[in-house]
Amino acid sequence: MAIQDILALVALVFGLFFSLVGIVGLVRFPDVYCRIHASGKVATLGLVGLLATSALLQPETALKALALALFVVITSPVASHAIASAAYRQGVPINGDRDELAGQRTNLTN
């Protein structure tokens, strides 16, 4: 077994682990904000691990995989933040005792 295959296996296990943990979190977490956090991890870490596996096993796709990974790393946290911000502005309740944005809620529908 070549070192490239071992690295691909490690990247595959990394990607699958974060995908599995994120999906379990998506099902088990109590509120929308925690679920957004879990789905963000699936999109970022899980996909980057799978793209690294693809790049290692098929070197001709490495440049495309790198471009996709960079795109996901840049856009996924922004998308998660936008969804959470929209949920907060719509009044979706926070499951917890601390709301650091209380009193700062703005109505952007005017």
Task: Dump the DSSP string for 14-79.
Answer: HHHHHHHHHHHHHHH-SSHHHHHHHHHHIIIIIHHHHHHHHHHH-GGGHHHHHHHHHHHHHHHHHH
Q: Are 102 and 88 in contact (CB under 8 A)?
A: no
In single-letter form, the type of residue at position 42 comes to: V
Kindly state whether residue 102 falls inside one of the protein's structural domains: no
Q: Is position 104 within any domain?
A: no
Residue 105 included in any domain? no
Residue 53 maps to a domain:
yes
pLDDT of residue 100: 66
Nearest to 20 by CA among 47, 48, 46, 53: 46
CA distance 83 to 55: 30
Domain that residue 77 falls in: 3-89
> Residue 96 falls within a domain, yes or no?
no
Q: Is residue 101 part of a domain?
A: no
Return the structure tokens found at 90.
Answer: 């719509």
- At 14, the amino acid letter reads F
Residue 82 lies in a domain: yes
Residue 76 located in a structural domain: yes
Q: pLDDT per position in the chain (110 positions), as tens?
A: 799 999 999 999 999 999 998 889 888 988 888 888 888 888 889 999 999 999 999 999 999 999 999 999 999 989 998 998 898 888 888 876 667 666 665 555 54
Number of domains in the chain: 1
